[in-house]
Amino acid sequence: MITLNDYLYSGDTVFKILKKYAHDLQESAVSNQNEVDLIHCRFLMQIMDLLEHNDFLTAQSQKIREFYKYMAKEYPYLSFAFKGRIKSLIRAEAKFNGYVVEYIYDYYEKHATYPSVVELGEKLNCFRDLIAYRIVISMPKCHVKDKKERENQEIKYLYEIANVLKDFLEERGFTAEPAGGVKKSTSELLREEVRPYYRDYITNVDPDGYRSLHITFFDNSAKCYMEMQLRTKQMDDIAEIGPANHLGYEKKQESERRRRDAIPKGECIYFDEAYERGMQLQQLELKDLDVNMFAAINNSLINDGCGLYRGRLILPYEHLSRFQNDLID
C-alpha cells in the first residue's frame, strides 16, 4: 500500500512530493483496479492544480479585497481582519482518508453491509474548503463599552455582512453553493433569500462551542471552490485558542477515526487502507521529516514555509477601526 508518509523524508518540495505520490498511487490503483484510490488521485490532483496554477489567487484575492474595501467604507467603526489559506497537504490527506473511514464505518453500523463505490464516491466529492477565507470582526471597547451590548452589536453586524456577501461576490464572477440544509440558520437576522446558502454554526452551536457562518462559492474564473467563514473576534478566539481550537478538533477527529472494532480487518480494503493511512499520519514525528522549507523541533514548534502541515497563507488584510487606520489604499 502506498502512503504519503513514504515521501516525506526525501528533501523534496511539497509539490514534487505530491506529484510523485499521486503518480505512484494512480499506477497502483490502475494495476489493482482500486476505484477509491483513483478518486483519491483526483483529489490530490486538485491540490496540485492549486499549487501549480496559482496565478488565479491574485485575481481571486483582489476580488475578496474589494469586499474588504466595501466593509471599510460601510463599517468604519469596526475592526476586522481578512485571512486566507490553502489547506495543508498533511491535513488534506488526513481529511480525505478520515472521510472514507467515517463514512464506511457509519454505513456499516447502520446497514450491516458496505457502501458501493458510487455511494462512497459521492461522499468524497464534497471537498469545498481546500481554499478558505475568513472574515473576523470586532467592535472596539472605545465605541461600545458594555460587553453584552458589544457582543450583540458584533453578531448583528456579522449577519449584515453575510446578507451582502453573496450578491457582492456573485456580481464578481462567483456562484454561491446551496448548503443543502446543513446547519440551517434559524436567525431572523439572516435574510430569507440568502439563508439556504449558509451553514450557521451560531444558531447551531457545536458541542465544543464552535460558532461561525460558512458559505461556499465556486469561482467561475478559476474553476475551483472556496469557502468563506465569518466570525466575531470572540468566536475566532474559541476556534483558534479555545475549546474548539484546531488541535482539539484534530484530536476529536483522530479518536473518531480510530474506530475500527465494528469492521473486521480484511473485509473492506477501502476501509483498511484509509484507516492505515490515517493512523500513519497521526503517528508522524514532524521533527524527523525532511521536506524542503519545513522544519520542526517537535509536533508543536513548527516552521512551515511550504504548506506541508499548516497550510499556505493567501492574504492578510486588517482594518483597525476608524481613527486608528483611516487609509485604505
All structural domains of the chain with their residue ranges: 53-86+129-244
Q: Report d(CA 323, CA 298) in Å as an integer.
A: 42
CB burial string 216-239: b at 16+ within 10 A, e below: bbebeebebbbbbbbbbbbbbebb
CATH superfamily of domain region 53-86+129-244: Beta Polymerase, domain 2 (3.30.460.10)
For 195, the grid coordinates are 439563508
Which residue spans within the chain are E strands per DSSP?
A: 79-86, 131-138, 174-177, 198-200, 213-219, 224-232, 294-296, 302-304, 312-320
Side-chain-facing half-sphere of 185: CA atoms under 13 Å: 25
DSSP 229: E
The backbone region for 266, taken as left when phi is positive above 0, alpha when psi lies in -120 to 50, beta otherwise, is: left
Strand partners, 135: 82, 230
3-class state of residue 241 by DSSP: coil
pLDDT tens string, the chain, 329 residues long: the values are 999 999 999 999 999 999 999 999 999 999 999 999 999 999 999 999 888 877 778 888 889 989 999 999 999 999 999 988 889 999 999 999 999 999 999 999 999 999 999 999 988 887 888 999 999 999 999 889 999 999 999 999 999 999 999 999 999 999 999 999 999 999 999 999 999 999 999 999 888 889 999 999 999 988 889 999 999 999 999 988 887 676 665 665 566 556 667 788 899 999 999 999 999 998 999 999 999 999 999 998 999 999 999 888 876 666 665 544 444 44
